[in-house]
Amino acid sequence: MSPKPFIIDEYVRWSDVDHAGIIFYGAYVRFFEIAETEMFRSAGIPYGQVFDRFDAWLPRVHLECDFMYPARLDDRLRVATYVTRFGTTSVQLNFDVLHVEARQLAAAGHEVLVATDRETMRPKPLPEGLVQLLGDYHLPLDEARQFLDRSLI
């Protein structure tokens, strides 16, 4: 199987919008979390089992997001998650949020997770089994974006 982004569709909920009815920027983190959790499940391991299976925590040490197009209450968003980098101790997950009706990128973000020892919280090597599980979602940003453009057709 060639690598491809993991994709979910979600709607902008009442709790996601501000008084003007536009999605609140912090709500994108919820979409990222849902997509990440479901990507792990799709890879074969429910997120609740990741830490025990690999004897590591995966705290987020960096989160970044750019906003390009406003989403409003009840808009359908397509959230794509994919790995752009496996480091020695870290993994970078990217998130592209497409506004389905407008056929535009609404937001793009990424986060860096670091494998840490569960007692000391010090970085440790990224478990090889985790790299293997997420390998089907590892691809460069430009290839992921091409796949997403085709998903809107």
pLDDT at 146: 84
- 81: CB partners within 8 A, 6+ apart: 5, 6, 7, 32, 35, 36, 39, 93, 94, 95, 137
Running DSSP on this structure, what letter comes out for residue 138? Answer: B
Is the pLDDT higher at 150 or at 36?
A: 36
Tokens of residue 65, six digits:
């997001």
Q: What are 53-105's pLDDT values in tens digits? A: 999 999 999 999 999 999 999 999 999 999 999 999 999 999 999 999 999 99
Tell me, what's the pLDDT at 1?
A: 66
pLDDT of residue 148: 77
pLDDT tens-digit series, residues 27-42 = 999 999 999 999 999 9
The C-alpha atoms of residue 94 and residue 137 are separated, in whole angstroms, by 10
Q: Quick one: pLDDT at residue 152?
A: 65
DSSP state of 36: H
Q: Which residues make Cβ contacts (< 8 Å) with residue 36, sequence separation at least 6? A: 47, 81, 93, 95
Assign 150 a pLDDT band (cuts: 50, 70, 90). Answer: confident
Among residues 95, 93, 91, 94, the alpha carbon closest in space to that of 123 is found at 91
- The residue type at 1: M
The answer to whether residues 79 and 31 touch, using CB atoms and an 8 Å cutoff, is yes
> What span, in angstroms and rounded, lies between the C-alpha atoms of 81 and 111?
11
Is the pLDDT at 153 greater than 70, yes or no?
A: no
What is the third-level CATH fold of 6-151?
Answer: Thiol Ester Dehydrase; Chain A (3.10.129)
